[in-house]
Amino acid sequence: MNVGEISKLFEISEDDVRKKCKAFAKKLKSRQIIQSEFDKKFWEDVMQEARGNEKITLVDSKGEFYHGRRVDLEKAETKDLMALFDYGKEYLNNVPPMVLESLDKNKPGYNPLSPIKQLKDGLKIVEEILSKRN
């Protein structure tokens, strides 16, 4: 990413971006900090999200959750997307309405029902992709 993109993403000035990059590079060089695979994966995910390739949670025919990326769904066959959409809708239809309503409220901290909310959000994206194909 260039300085302007980073500045926009983190809502800081381009000058601050340059300063932070320089400070980080200095710490790496002096071995004050060491990059790990976790760091690399984290920042790759941040870049994917920043570029609109968000992570999407869906459910398969067995009711098992999994994660994918928007770009992967956009490449998928329409019949496969329709199947994923149908599996997700069927799954959500079995969740009590009171639970679904509670998911729309912002709650800080860990929420054990997060996968259901993520599925609900993921289905909106699948629906958006499918509507562009018609």
CA angle 41, 47, 50 (to 5 degrees): 140
Q: How many CB atoms lie within 10 A of CB 61?
A: 11
Residue 123 is predicted with a pLDDT of: 93
Overall average pLDDT of the 64-76 stretch: 90
DSSP characters for 82-124?
HHHHHHHHHHHHTS-HHHHHHHTS---S--TTHHHHHHHHHHH
List the domain boundaries for the chain: 3-50, 55-133
Residue 106, pLDDT > 70, answer no
Residue 43 is predicted with a pLDDT of: 85
CA angle 127, 89, 120 (to 5 degrees): 65
This prediction has a pTM of 0.61
Overall average pLDDT of the 1-25 stretch: 90
pLDDT in tens, 15-29: 999 999 999 999 989
Name the pLDDT band for 65 (thresholds 50, 70, 90).
Answer: confident
* 104 neighbors 78 (Cβ within 8 angstroms): no
